[in-house]
Amino acid sequence: MAAIRAKVASRVLITGDRLPSIRRFAGVMGVSPSTVVEAYDRLVAEGVIQARPGSGFYVARAAPPLVLADIGPKRDRAIDPLWVSRQSLDADGAVAKPGCGWLPADWMPNAAIRRALRALARADDAVLSDYGATRGLPALRRLLARQFAGEGLDVGPEQILLTGSGTQAIDLICRFIVRPGDTVLVDDPCYFNFQALLRAHQATILGVPYTQGGPDMERFAEMAATHRPRLYITNSALHNPSGATLTPQVAHRLLNVAASSGMTIVEDDIFGDFEPESSPRLAVLDGLARVIRIGSFSKTLSASIRCGYIAARPDWIDALIDLQVATSFGGVSPATAELVFAVLNDGGYRKHMEAVRRRLVRARRDTAVRLEALGITPWLMPRGGFYLWCALPAGQDATTLARAALCEDVVLAPGNVFSVSQSASGFMRFNVAQMGEARIFDVLERALASGRCREKGGGRLETLSAEDGSIRATM
- Amino acid identity for residue 359 in this structure: R
Cβ-in-10-Å burial (0-12, 13-18, 19+) of 420 comes to buried
**132 near a copy of itself (CB under 8 A):** yes
Q: Which of residues 158-177 bind a copy of itself (CB under 8 A)?
A: 164-168, 171, 175-177
Centroid of chain to Cα 29: 40
**334 near a copy of itself (CB under 8 A):** yes
**180 near a copy of itself (CB under 8 A):** yes
Centroid of chain to Cα 433: 19
Count of residues interacting with a copy of itself (CB under 8 A):
106
Site string for a copy of itself, 233-262 (x = CB under 8 A): --------------------------xxxx
Q: Which of residues 6-35 bind a copy of itself (CB under 8 A)?
A: 15
Q: Looking at the DSSP assignment, which residues form a beta bridge with residue 162? A: 309
**124 near a copy of itself (CB under 8 A):** yes
168 versus 367: smaller Cβ distance to a copy of itself? 168
**67 near a copy of itself (CB under 8 A):** yes
Residue among 54, 122, 369, 455 that touches a copy of itself (CB under 8 A): 122
**391 near a copy of itself (CB under 8 A):** no
Q: Which of residues 396-435 bind a copy of itself (CB under 8 A)?
A: none
Three-class HEC string of 150-206: HHCCCCCHHHEEEECCHHHHHHHHHHHHCCCCCEEEEEECCCHHHHHHHHHCCCEEE
Residue among 35, 85, 204, 278 that touches a copy of itself (CB under 8 A): 85
Cis peptide before 53 (omega within 30 of 0): no
**455 near a copy of itself (CB under 8 A):** no
Say how far apart CA 189 and CA 424 lie, in whole Å. Answer: 8
Find the helix or strand (DSSP H, E) in which 215 lies.
strand 214-215
Helices (H) and strands (E) in the chain, counts: 18, 14
Distance, first Cα to last Cα, the chain: 9
228 versus 456: smaller Cβ distance to a copy of itself? 228
Contact in structure between 179 and 170 (CB atoms under 8 Å): no
Residue among 78, 144, 160, 196 that touches a copy of itself (CB under 8 A): 196
- Smallest gap, in angstroms, from Cβ of residue 228 to a copy of itself? 6
Site string for a copy of itself, 198-237 (x = CB under 8 A): -xx---------------------------x-x-------
Q: Which of residues 271-290 bind a copy of itself (CB under 8 A)?
A: 289-290
